[in-house]
Amino acid sequence: MTKEKKKVLSGMRPTGPLHLGHLVGALDSWRRLQDEYDCFYMIADWHALMSEYADTEGLASFSLECLADWIAAGIDPEKSTLFLQSRVSEHLELFMILSNITPLGWLERCPTYKEQLREVTGRDLTNYAFLGYPVLQAADILLYRAECVPVGEDQVAHLELTRELVRRFESFYGPIFPEPQPLLSVTKRLLGLDNRKMSKSLDNFIGLGERPESIRKKVLSMVTDPERIKLEDPGHPDRCTVFSYFGAFQEEMTGGVRSWCEGATVGCVACKKKLAEAVIAFLEPIRKKRNELLHDKEELETILRQGTAKAREAAAQTMREVKKYVKLLT
């Protein structure tokens, strides 16, 4: 008998258009995991709602766009289960059961929670649901009994909380969930165009569906090595975000870029123009595929329906067992 593949679960919140950061930071590794693991990839719209509840205008379209972007980036619905969180109500059932055994202190001390309360402006995150964000995330993972979870470093605390909940669940009700392990992506995080963290709210990103003209404009606005002011000033490519983008999207060119930068033979504007064309060429097939998909919403809906049906089946199976363990009348 062939050994069953290990399960992977990961998710992304549909809060805006996906960008190069999602591609390099998550989708590339999601794509690579597809053959080796039984992958479940979830559009985490309930998680989006926890912080974006006051402005839900774009939520539905961002969810569908998210699916189109994933497929365009090589996530294959034939290999992986792609689904929408809010269509699998078992997530909330398990969320509730886990909420009972989650001490408030664990959530109040969670570093991501404290950081978001401190840093996020324009949205009120002191709501009840947002405090429980990592508990819903634990429910997402445990519902599929995922052994591995590809996440960025920022999510490691949430995974640790999930593991603690597994142990606590076991101590109350018995062993049912495996402790999930993080799969940290090998690729570094791509900085935003302004050298800050790439994020939707800072508007410092290049979207996967961005038009060439707009990419050119954005790349020309990128922050470079501040010590390289004139053409004759030698630059420090390792301190320049433009250089790191070459590394991510046009590796073959990095040798050349390094030598023209350190040797002060090509100026930053010319360098950025080359990067813009490289990024445009890199994104072209993704942009084409995503536009095709977005023109055929029926097809996207079908893919989502099929993935969601598969997810529901796995989720229902787990919930039947969970209810037994918790000793609810079934």
Indicate whether 14 belongs to the interface with ligand TRP (CB under 6 A).
Answer: no
**DSSP 3-state of 4:** coil
Could you tell me how many residues of this chain bind ligand SF4 (CB under 6 A)? 13
Q: Which does 140 bind (CB under 5 to 8 A by kind): ligand SF4, ligand TRP, none?
A: ligand TRP
CA dihedral 240, 243, 245, 248 (to 10 degrees): -130
**Binding pattern to ligand SF4, positions 217-256, x when CB under 6 A?**
-------xx--x------x-x--x-xx-------------
Kindly report the three-state secondary structure assignment for every residue of 181-240: EEEECCCCCCECCCCCECCCCCCCCCECCCCHHHHHHHHHCCCCCCCCCCCCCCCCHHHC
Q: Are the beta carbons of 85 and 136 closer than 8 angstroms?
A: no
DSSP β-bridge partners for residue 191: 197
From CA 330, how far away is CA 320, in angstroms rounded? 8
DSSP β-bridge partners for residue 83: 42
Considering the complex, state which of residue 14 and residue 207 has its C-beta at the smaller distance from ligand TRP. Answer: 14
**Binding pattern to ligand TRP, positions 86-115, x when CB under 6 A?**
------------------------------
User: Kind of pairing, strands 38-43 and 181-184?
Assistant: unpaired
What single-letter DSSP state applies at residue 23? Answer: I
Which of 86, 155, 185, 244: binder of ligand TRP (CB under 6 A)?
155
Considering the complex, state which of residue 60 and residue 269 has its C-beta at the smaller distance from ligand SF4. Answer: 269
CA dihedral 110, 113, 118, 121 (to 10 degrees): 170
Considering the complex, state which of residue 170 and residue 262 has its C-beta at the smaller distance from ligand SF4. Answer: 262
Could you tell me how many residues of this chain bind ligand TRP (CB under 6 A)? 13
The distance of Cα 323 from the centroid of its chain, to the nearest Å, equals: 31
Considering the complex, state which of residue 130 and residue 246 has its C-beta at the smaller distance from ligand TRP. Answer: 130
Q: Which parts of 29-88 interact with ligand TRP (CB under 6 A)?
A: 44, 47
Considering the complex, state which of residue 80 and residue 224 has its C-beta at the smaller distance from ligand SF4. Answer: 224
From CA 81, how far away is CA 274, in angstroms rounded? 38
Which of 29, 51, 81, 137: binder of ligand TRP (CB under 6 A)?
137
Please, what is the minimum distance in Å from the beta carbon of residue 228 to ligand SF4? Answer: 5
From CA 211, how far away is CA 213, in angstroms rounded? 6
Which of 47, 158, 218, 272: binder of ligand SF4 (CB under 6 A)?
272
Positions that interact with ligand SF4 (CB under 6 A): 224-225, 228, 235, 237, 240, 242-243, 257, 261, 268, 271-272
Positions that interact with ligand TRP (CB under 6 A): 9-13, 44, 47, 137, 140-141, 149, 151, 155
